[in-house]
């Protein structure tokens, strides 16, 4: 009984992982080149530099929510497509230290918590991805490990494949068992009718 429950939990977990993986894969595939994938207005990013220490250490996973630029306030941490030629349009995450109201709309002056000076290029509203609303260093570390093929293949992909194969074999076995039981029941019914006619 306990064995069935454990396998049931593992099966459900494996199916959920597959659904989530397919969903994320589709999201990434259908996201325009150069843009951060977004699910229901939320984007998950991993911090790769120490510019936001001690607030966000390297490898911290941050959740960024797409918001109206008008709602951004000084001291909010935002993610944006940097216009700094050195970063070549890469995603950057820094704190808003000043907001300028210009003809083209709101412009944000940003700075990394661990940097001594503000960013050389201000952030125009059109380049805003969103505001950071959550973070986790633990999940970030795990996501980095999972992203490593040397970890992903032996620890996740292979066990998942084994579970799927096991499920497939179990399903085929169950189908054969059901078919055999139905066949036996049909034979018993036929024998019963023959006996009834003979009486």
Whether 110 and 195 share a structural domain: no
Q: Average the pLDDT over 98-122 and give the result.
A: 91
Whether 2 and 73 share a structural domain: no
Question: Is 143 a member of any domain?
Answer: no
Q: What is the pLDDT of residue 31?
A: 46
Q: Are 96 and 77 in contact (CB under 8 A)?
A: yes
Separation between Cα atoms, residue 13 and residue 68, nearest integer Å: 36
Whether 74 and 93 share a structural domain: yes
The total number of structural domains in the chain stands at: 3
Q: What is the pLDDT of residue 144?
A: 74
The structure tokens listed for 122 are: 């201000």
Of the ranges 6-20, 115-129, 164-178, which one carries the lowest mean pLDDT score?
6-20
Q: Is the pLDDT of residue 28 over 60?
A: no
Q: What is the pLDDT of residue 98?
A: 94
CATH of the domain at 98: 2.10.109.10
* Domain hosting residue 174, numbered range: 148-199
Per residue in 160-199, pLDDT (tens digit) is 777 777 777 777 777 777 777 777 777 777 677 776 666 6
The pTM of the full predicted model, rounded to 2 decimals, is: 0.62
| Radius of gyration of the chain from its Cα atoms, rounded to whole angstroms | 28
Residue closest to 83 by CA, chosen among 142, 123, 55, 118: 123
Q: Is the dihedral of CA 75, 58, 125, 85 positive or negative?
A: positive
pLDDT top residue among 2 and 77: 77
Question: Is 76 a member of any domain?
Answer: yes
Q: Is the pLDDT of residue 64 over 80?
A: yes
Q: What is the pLDDT of residue 139?
A: 83
């Amino acid at each position: 009984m306990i064995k069935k429950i454990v396998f049931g939990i593992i099966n459900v977990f494996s199916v959920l992982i597959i659904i989530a993986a397919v969903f994320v894969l589709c999201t990434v595939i259908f996201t325009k080149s150069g843009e951060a994938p977004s699910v229901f207005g939320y984007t998950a990013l991993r911090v790769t530099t120490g510019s936001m220490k001690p607030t966000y250490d390297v490898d911290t996973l941050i959740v960024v929510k797409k918001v109206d630029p008008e709602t951004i306030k000084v001291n909010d941490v935002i993610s944006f497509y940097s216009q700094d030629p050195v970063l070549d349009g890469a995603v950057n995450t820094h704190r808003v230290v000043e907001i300028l109201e210009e003809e083209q709309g709101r412009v944000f002056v940003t700075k990394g918590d661990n940097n001594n000076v503000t960013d050389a290029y201000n952030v125009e509203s059109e380049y805003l991805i969103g505001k950071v609303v959550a973070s986790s260093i633990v999940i970030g570390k795990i996501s980095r490990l999972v992203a490593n093929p040397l970890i992903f293949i032996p620890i996740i992909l292979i066990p998942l494949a084994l579970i799927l194969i096991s499920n497939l074999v179990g399903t085929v076995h169950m189908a054969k068992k059901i078919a055999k039981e139905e066949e036996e029941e049909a034979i018993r019914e036929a024998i019963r009718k023959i006996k009834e006619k003979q009486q």
